[in-house]
């Protein structure tokens, strides 16, 4: 092989590597195959093979962005999260029952709560945990600033709204300390050490400027 063939061969190998389907995409191909078979309404070898081909083409032409995998399971934090989450579920259920049996309909509010961890994965996990608690529901997520817009029952007074914000931030703290990476925990500590408003329940503004980090 001549010296001129070296760069050409290296370029071909790089192209071949780019054309390979990452291992992380194969679950997506499997899901697309199942969806393809369900759409046709019949199960046959031809449908399965066609679904695989379609799934591979979709994943190659429209590749998904890399998914964060830096999740660290922390046993102590996990136990604390599970125990406190069960307690929160019981307390919130009691509040909702009190509102239902009360004479007046509860006053509700939509609160903007700025999260402190820059991780999209922790943002998603926190929003799921908040939505699972009775009496609260996540209406929207502003990813650029990490802000959750939460609908809360029984938030007619400012003290009740501050309590609701504090509970969301406390739940985020437990999620991060149970599943987050060192960088996620360091972000929480940075908020606390810097004394940003999010530590006191205001959650910052939706523009993403009131915090020690900026999402990309």
Residue 153, H or E segment:
strand 147-153
Q: Are the C-beta atoms of residues 138 and 149 closer than 8 Å to each other?
A: yes
Q: Give CA–CA dist 27/45, Å, rounded.
A: 19
Q: How confident is the model at residue 210 (pLDDT cuts 50, 70, 90)?
A: very low
The share of the chain scoring above pLDDT 90, in percent, equals 21
Per-residue tokens: 82: 């599970």
Q: Are the C-beta atoms of residues 115 and 146 closer than 8 Å to each other?
A: yes
CA 153, 158, 163, 166: dihedral to nearest 10 degrees? 110
pLDDT at residue 111, as a whole number: 93
- If you average pLDDT over residues 32-59, what whole number do you get? 82
**Torsion sign (Cα): 155, 115, 170, 94:** positive
Using the predicted structure, report yes or no on whether residue 208 has a pLDDT greater than 60: no
| DSSP 8-state code for residue 116 | S
Q: Which residue has the higher pLDDT, 97 or 5?
A: 97
Structure pTM? 0.62
| DSSP 8-state code for residue 24 | G
Strand, coil or helix: what is 72? coil
Q: CA–CA distance from 202 to each of 34, 90, 112, 158, 207 (Å)? A: 45, 25, 8, 11, 14
pLDDT at residue 195, as a whole number: 62
pLDDT at residue 107, as a whole number: 85
């Amino acid at each position: 092989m001549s010296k001129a063939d070296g760069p050409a061969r290296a370029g071909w190998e790089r192209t071949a590597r780019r054309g390979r389907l990452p291992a992380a995409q194969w679950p997506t191909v499997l899901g697309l195959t199942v969806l393809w078979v369900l759409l046709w309404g019949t199960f046959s070898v031809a449908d399965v093979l066609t679904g695989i081909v379609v799934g591979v083409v979709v994943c190659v032409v429209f590749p998904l962005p890399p998914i964060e995998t830096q999740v660290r399971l922390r046993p102590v934090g996990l136990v604390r999260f599970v125990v406190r989450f069960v307690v929160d579920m019981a307390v919130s259920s009691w509040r909702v029952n009190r509102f239902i049996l009360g004479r007046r309909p509860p006053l509700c509010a939509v609160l903007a709560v700025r999260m402190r961890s820059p991780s999209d994965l922790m943002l998603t996990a926190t929003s799921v945990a908040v939505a699972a608690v009775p009496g609260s529901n996540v209406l929207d997520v502003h990813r650029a600033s990490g802000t959750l817009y939460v609908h809360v029952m029984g938030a007619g007074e400012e003290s009740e709204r501050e309590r609701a914000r504090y509970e969301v931030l406390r739940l985020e703290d437990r999620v991060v300390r149970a599943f987050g990476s060192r960088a996620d925990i360091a972000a929480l500590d940075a908020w606390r050490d810097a004394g940003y408003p999010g530590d006191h329940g205001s959650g910052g503004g939706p523009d993403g400027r009131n915090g020690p980090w900026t999402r990309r």
